[in-house]
Structure 1
Amino acid sequence: MRSRLLLWAALAAFAIDQISKYLVVHVMRVAEGNIDVLPPLLVFKYGENRGINFGLFQGDSDTARWVLIGISLAVSVGVLIWLLRTVPSKLALFCGGMLIGGALGNVVDRVLYGYVLDFLNMSCCGINNPFVFNLADVFIFAGAFGLVLFDGKKPS
């Protein structure tokens, strides 16, 4: 069944995201200080994101938290329904699974902590990037990009 690929991709993205956050935040204790992995290219730096990517729409209110949870769930369900109603390629199913798994990983953070745990910081070439993100964000971005590229439609 093709939908198994979607399910396994979503489960893998979700698990990788949650395990990485647990290890870096709770085991490696990145909140106590930055961890240089490949400085300056990759540094683990603790962050709490109460908004969306790059800290947009930051809000400390409980209403904002639940609105963002609702939006994430609605997008996940929408992508799921769209993929199950069409006949997408295997690559599109995989990408959709990554997007859904990443979104649900961030939803779990918002439910448990009230914010999304972020820990990845990447800088390069003399540019100091102040933003942090997590693997769920990577899966969401890669999944959305892949769905645009591999939606199965022939160019006109």
Structure 2
Amino acid sequence: MTAEAEQAIDEVPEKSTDDVAGEGGRPRGKRRVAVLLWVAAVAYALDLVSKIIVVERLEGEPAVEVVGDLLRFTAVRNPGAAFGMGEALTIVFTVIAAAVIVVIFRIARKLYSTPWAIALGLLLGGAFGNLTDRVFRSPGVFQGAVVDFIAPAHFAVFNLADSAIVCGGVLIVILSFRGLDPDGTLHRD
């Protein structure tokens, strides 16, 4: 190889992973699995720590008024879903949470969108938070009651895992309406 050819090769800019085309020629950036896992870990940790504090300090105690009658913290064990519905279906909710986690991990293989990584991370962290309660809290494995403690006036009592799930779900709806797919492609219909 001539010196001129070597110099020409050296001057060609390298393609970054952001420029590499994926399946079907669509541009792909770096996979965003690390963002998903980081968001999930933060959501899960906040939920877990808050529930430990609630069980230690609020269970069996009167409600703590945070904002007058508008918002209180009170420890509630919820074997069902939102609004206490489905108390006899604890095992079903456990299976659903596990299925959600599996689906998120499958989607993560094709995840190139940061907003989707955040949304799925919130869902994953929230699902793990409530699944942990269902597996490890009394009355037994796969029958545990979720610890709820955030009690707004005239609304159901919930926890930080529930908040993460709802925020992740709302973000997914917004991203879907905007036409952004988890693989980073944008659809204009």
Q: State the TM-score, normalized to the length of structure 1.
A: 0.85
Q: Unpaired segments of 5 or more residues in structure 2? A: 1-30, 138-143, 181-185
3-state SS of paired residue (2:80): coil
Counterparts of 1:11-22 in structure 2, within 5 Å, are 11-22=41-52
8 Å contact 1:109–1:115 — kept in the other structure?
yes
3-state SS of paired residue (1:31): coil
Q: Which residue of 1 aligns with 2:187?
A: 154
Match 1:109 to one of 114, 133, 137:
133
3-state SS of paired residue (1:140): helix
Query: How much has 1:25 moved relative to structure 2?
Result: 2.2
8 Å contact 1:31–1:45 — kept in the other structure?
no
Q: Which residue of 1 aligns with 2:79?
A: 50
Distance in structure 1 (CA, Å) of the matches to 2:158 and 2:50? 12
Q: Which has the higher helix share?
A: 1
Greater gyration radius: 2
Query: How much has 1:91 moved relative to structure 2?
Result: 1.2
- Alignment RMSD, CA only? 1.6
Q: Unpaired segments of 5 or more residues in structure 1? A: none
Distance in structure 1 (CA, Å) of the matches to 2:159 and 2:36? 21
8 Å contact 1:5–1:93 — kept in the other structure?
yes
Structure 1, residues 34-89: CA drift from partner, whole Å, max 9, x if none?
A: 01111222100221111111112112xxxx333221110101211221232253x2
Larger RCO (alpha carbons 8 Å, 6+ apart): 1
Q: Which residue of 2 aligns with 1:82?
A: 107
Match 2:169 to one of 133, 144, 156:
144
Distance in structure 1 (CA, Å) of the matches to 2:188 and 2:65? 44
Question: Which amino acid in structure 2 is aligned with residue 29 of structure 1?
Answer: L
Number of equivalences: 145
Distance in structure 2 (CA, Å) of the matches to 1:92 and 1:86? 7
3-state SS of paired residue (1:132): coil
8 Å contact 1:80–1:96 — kept in the other structure?
no
Give the % identical residues: 34
Question: Which amino acid in structure 1 is aligned with residue 86 of structure 2?
Answer: F
